[in-house]
């Protein structure tokens, strides 16, 4: 399966298992979503369980919060992550607070799905990486898969979770993994081992990282599209890098991070989002606090630039295998 197909399959599996699961969003019903992640669900389950919403992100999320607190399990789609800001107050002030504010009397089992990052020449309003604004919020879980197999398992786990989950989907790898050099996937997911997705029900535990590549010289902490960029950098440089695919940013698998950095003694953090106050800063602080005596060199960050997201020059904005490779060279020389 492609990541699009895996996400669609996760919806299908959960809607068949639980009649309380509903799916809606902008063009998410009849049309099946702008990226077709919900295609065919309305035809299969009816308009009362897969339906379109007005162009009102605060209304979409506000309605989902009400549904979730009264027993349904809504999985809503925000068409692009760039559009989520009108709903931010609902997510932070309501969804994330309900369990604690009600002393556990109410919970909010909802998922907010949204495509993130660049890769379609969408410019400033269709390309943002928004993970840092959600990982700061107590009461949320934040997920970003790097492949179809994890996407399906993590989405099923998110739908079953009793608390609100922000599910971020890197649109650049919807149809296949990138090596960081090409504007199209190197191979389709159907020819990649991570595209071999099991049919039926399974879930991938939230809060558990995966080792995308084992190594002993340097640890690279990353997630989403950048997992594939880091893999390409390791292959091209020949550096024996261990690449940790975080998968879930909140809660974070601190045990896996510490084990890897304590083994390698060096750490590079890679993400597509802008550098200042990005999630990489939190990772650096965690590694410095818990792995300080194992470090052989300062931690390095390779990130997007602190600029508005470019349109025609987006491939110059992305962290590339060359930039990651140069960071590995620097950290090994240090």
Which residues belong to the active site? Answer: 126
Q: How far is CA 133 from CA 66, 203, 269, 274, 288, in A?
A: 23, 26, 18, 12, 22
What are the structure tokens assigned to 160, written together? 């079953």
Determine the Cα–Cα distance for residues 121 and 322; give it in Å rounded to an integer. 21
d(C-alpha 220, C-alpha 318), whole Å:
16
Cα dist. 164→42, 43, 331 in Å? 23, 27, 38
DSSP letter (8 states) at residue 328: H
List C-alpha distances in Å: 9 to 4, 101, 275, 320.
9, 34, 34, 31
The answer to whether 285 and 278 have CB atoms below 8 angstroms apart is no
Is 12 within 8 Å of 19 (Cβ atoms)? no
According to DSSP, the β-strands at 141-143 and 165-170 are parallel
Q: 220-229: string of b/e by CB count within 10 Å (b at 16+)?
A: bbbbbbbbbb
Compute the C-alpha angle 13/18/21, nearest 5°: 85
Q: What is the rounded CA–CA span in Å between residue 233 and residue 169?
A: 22
SS3 category, 49: coil
- Judged by DSSP in three states, 301 sits in strand
């Amino acid at each position: 399966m492609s990541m699009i197909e895996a996400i669609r399959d996760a919806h299908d599996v959960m809607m068949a298992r639980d009649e309380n699961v509903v799916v809606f969003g902008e063009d998410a019903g009849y049309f099946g979503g702008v990226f077709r992640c919900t295609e065919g669900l309305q035809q299969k389950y009816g308009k009362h369980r897969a339906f379109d919403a007005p162009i009102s992100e605060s209304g979409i999320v506000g309605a989902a919060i009400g549904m979730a607190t009264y027993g349904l399990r809504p999985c809503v789609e925000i068409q692009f992550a760039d559009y989520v800001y009108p709903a931010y107050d609902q997510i932070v002030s309501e969804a994330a607070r309900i369990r604690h504010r009600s002393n556990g009397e109410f919970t909010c089992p909802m998922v907010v799905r949204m495509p993130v990052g660049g890769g379609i020449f969408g410019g400033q309003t269709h390309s943002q990486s928004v993970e840092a604004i959600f990982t700061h919020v107590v009461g949320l879980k934040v997920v970003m898969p790097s492949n179809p197999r994890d996407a399906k398992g993590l989405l099923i786990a998110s739908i079953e979770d009793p608390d609100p989950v922000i599910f971020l989907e890197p649109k650049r790898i919807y149809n296949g993994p990138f090596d960081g050099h090409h504007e199209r996937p190197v191979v389709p997911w159907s020819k990649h081992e991570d595209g071999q997705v099991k049919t039926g029900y399974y879930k991938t535990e939230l809060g558990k990282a995966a080792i995308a590549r084992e190594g002993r010289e340097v640890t690279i902490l990353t997630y989403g599209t950048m997992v594939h960029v880091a893999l390409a950098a390791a292959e091209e440089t020949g550096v024996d890098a261990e690449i940790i695919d975080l998968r879930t940013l909140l809660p974070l698998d601190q045990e896996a991070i510490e084990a890897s950095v304590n083994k390698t003694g060096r750490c590079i953090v890679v993400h597509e989002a802008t550098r200042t106050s990005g999630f990489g800063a939190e990772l650096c602080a965690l590694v410095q606090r818990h792995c300080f005596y194992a470090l052989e060199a300062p931690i390095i960050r390779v990130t997007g630039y602190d600029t508005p997201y470019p349109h025609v020059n987006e491939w110059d904005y992305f962290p590339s295998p060359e930039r990651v490779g140069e960071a590995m060279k620097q950290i090994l020389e240090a």
